[in-house]
Amino acid sequence: MSLLDNTIILFYFILVVLIGLYYSRKRDQDSADYFLSGRNAGWFAIGVSLFATNISSEHFIGLAGSGASRGIAVAPFEWMAVIILILSGYFLAPLYVKAGVFTFPEFIGKRFDKKNRLYLSSLTILVYIFVKISITLFAGGLLLQEVLDWDIYTSTLVMVMLTGLYTVIGGMKAVIYTQIFQTVFFLGGAILLTIFGLHEVGGLRGLFNKLPSDYFTLIKSASDPDFPWTGILFGAPIIGFWYWCTDQYIIQRLLSAKNSVEAQRGSYLTAILKILPVFVLVIPGLIAVALFPGAKGDRAYPFLLTSRILPAGIKGIVVAGLFAAIMSSLAGIFNSASALFTMDIYRSLNPKASERKLVLVGRIATVIIVISAILWVPMIKFISSEIYIYLQSMQAYIGPPIAALFLLSLAYKEVNSKGAIWGLAIGGVLGLVRLLIEMLVRDYEITNNVLSWFVGINYLHFAIILFVISSATMIIVSRLYPLSVLTAIKYEEVR
């Protein structure tokens, strides 16, 4: 890293904090200002913020690592999001905006009851703190340790504290506008690395010549351990639907729109941007293994960055882009978790709380979440590359029951609150059992045939099974305990 590179990184830090503090300057905020940017966000801000929230350090490591190990077979995951975002924008964005809610659990609570709302809020907060934050910090720390030779604790502390500073003060507005700036950095850095890497490898022709043809096979067999076509076709959409259509981390941007048209256009913009990661994050993984045959898995992207293919100045932009991707996602986690606690849990217990009190609780909740992230930093040393994979696959064990709940809540009016909570509970327990058994079998080398078979089910196929079981439970329990008049009225109101 040259003096110019370090100057660019310092410039990034100064500018992002100044932007965050500038949009934090308004003091008399109400809860809509703090959590939803005053419900006044335009389509461009929504679309870019959605993209920035989605792309983080695990994408740089995970997509490049998959590219280096398996080629472009991971591409359908990213491109599936394009279809889901278009459908979400057309059908669901107007529904969310019209509902006038702060959170997805609040939307579900309108359809069912407080019990389902509190369950979803509590589960989501725990997942954010112990899964999303840990994935982001681990992947980010790994990258920065490899590239800058920074101590992993120092780098994560710097990112958490700086991100927490403007997120606590400014709320959603500060998050959205810093994310627009951060997107320019991380997308620009990824594009520059891809361009210089392709030049070094001899262009696309050189890349094709240096790698086996299997690296350019998009569709794998149904027995493929990582990307079976059956899992991609039926399992990936379930996970994608949960993530893009029900995760508070994502839909909070749609809820911030000034109207349904802006929300729709923002979703369409994100769909266009989601075409890019395959070319600027997966392709670098192929370039890395073509130039350095030993650079596979988690080490592919760091290997490419620490090589000498990037001139001074360009490397600084690329590394600043990594900081931008990490911080943009952390800001989204902090603000979303704070909204869930304040609006779903605290306001439920204190329905007469003033707007000023809600904003204060939101800030305190954000501070507590930031502190939790800082306290979680020492645990990073216990996260190996294998556990990182476990954490990534957890979305297949968490998402399907929630996706089933949302789809049935809209399409099947006979589903009631009792069926909903039973479906969520049984689906959640099955997902947790799968995760625990998977860790036991792989870490302690348990050879029981039944357990090995259970763990051997591809996680995408397991997502399908979990979705079916959760859906069936909701329908059966709801039929055993028929729809009440009150629930029927709620259903029609939501419709």
The confidence score (pLDDT) of residue 62 equals 84
Domain boundaries for CATH 1.20.1730.10 within the chain? 3-393
Q: Residue 386: which pLDDT band, with cuts at 50, 70 and 90?
A: very low
* 14-67 pLDDT, tens digit each: 999 999 989 887 655 799 999 999 999 999 999 999 999 999 888 888 888 889
Residue 306: band (very low, low, confident or very high) from pLDDT cuts 50, 70, 90: confident
Spatial distance between the Cα atoms of 273 and 263, rounded to a whole number of angstroms: 16
Compute the Cα dihedral for 385, 458, 420, 90 and give only its sign.
positive
% of the chain exceeding 90 in pLDDT: 65
At 392 the pLDDT is 62
Buried b (16+ CB within 10 A) or exposed e, 270-308: bbebbebbbebbbbbbbbbbbbbeebbbbbbbbbbbbbe
CA atoms within 13 A on the CB side of 155: 26
Given a cut of 90, whether residue 150 has pLDDT beyond it is no
Higher pLDDT, 297 or 478: 478
Structure tokens at 39: 């419900």
pTM of the model: 0.92
Give 14-66 as a DSSP string.
Answer: HHHHHHHHHTT---S--HHHHHHGGG-B-HHHHHHHHHHHH--HHHHHHHHHH
Residue 476: strand, helix, or coil: helix
What SS3 class is residue 307? Answer: coil
> What would the mean pLDDT of 367-372 be, rounded to a whole number?
86
Answer for the pair 356, 144: CB distance below 8 angstroms, yes or no.
no
In CATH terms, 3-393 corresponds, of 1.10.10.10, 2.40.50.100, 3.40.50.720, 1.20.1730.10, to 1.20.1730.10
d(CA 426, CA 461): 18
Predicted pLDDT of residue 310:
92
Tell me: pLDDT of 334 over 80. yes
DSSP lists the bridge partners of residue 228 as 220
- Cα distance between residue 165 and residue 362, in whole Å: 14
pLDDT tier for residue 447 given thresholds of 50, 70 and 90? confident
Q: Distance between CA atoms of 152 and 133, rounded to whole angstroms? A: 15
pLDDT at residue 152, rounded to an integer = 73
pLDDT at 490: 57
> How many CB atoms lie under 10 A from the CB of residue 157?
16
The band of 377, judged by pLDDT with boundaries at 50, 70 and 90, is low
Closest CA to 37 of 165, 170, 163: 170
Q: What is the pLDDT of residues 70-101, one digit of tens each?
A: 899 989 988 999 999 999 999 999 999 999 99
Residues facing residue 41 across a β-bridge = 257
Selection from 191, 247, 254, 193 nearest residue 399 by Cα: 247
Predicted confidence (pLDDT) at residue 484 exceeds the cutoff of 60: no
Are 161 and 397 in contact, with CB atoms under 8 Å apart?
no
Residue 127 is encoded by which pair of tokens?
Answer: 């997942």
End-to-end CA, the chain: 56
State the pLDDT at residue 495: 56
Is residue 28 left, alpha or beta, with left meaning phi > 0 and alpha meaning psi from -120 to 50?
A: beta
Q: What is the dihedral of CA 326, 330, 333, 338, to 10 degrees?
A: -170
Tell me, what's the pLDDT at 138?
Answer: 77
When pLDDT is averaged across residues 456-481 and rounded to a whole number, the result is: 94
Alpha-carbon distance of 21 to 18, in angstroms, equals: 5
Question: Which pLDDT score, from 0 to 100, does residue 226 have?
Answer: 85
Separation of alpha carbons 234 and 216, rounded Å? 22
Residue 93, CB-side half-sphere exposure with 13 Å CA sphere: 28
How far is residue 125 CA from its own chain's centroid?
13
Tokens encoding 72: 């472009």
The average confidence (pLDDT) of the chain is 89
The answer on pLDDT for 114 being more than 60 is yes
Residue 486: the pLDDT is 53
Which letter does DSSP use for residue 416 in this model?
-
Mean pLDDT of 300-316: 89
pLDDT at 441: 79
Q: Does residue 491 have a pLDDT over 60?
A: no
Residue 381: pLDDT over 70: no
Long-range contacts of 9-13 (CB under 8 A, 24+ apart): 9/316, 9/319, 9/320, 9/323, 11/320, 12/185, 12/320, 12/323, 12/324, 13/162, 13/323
Give the residue, 371 or 445, on which the prediction is more confident.
Answer: 371
Nearest to 131 by CA among 346, 340, 383, 341: 383
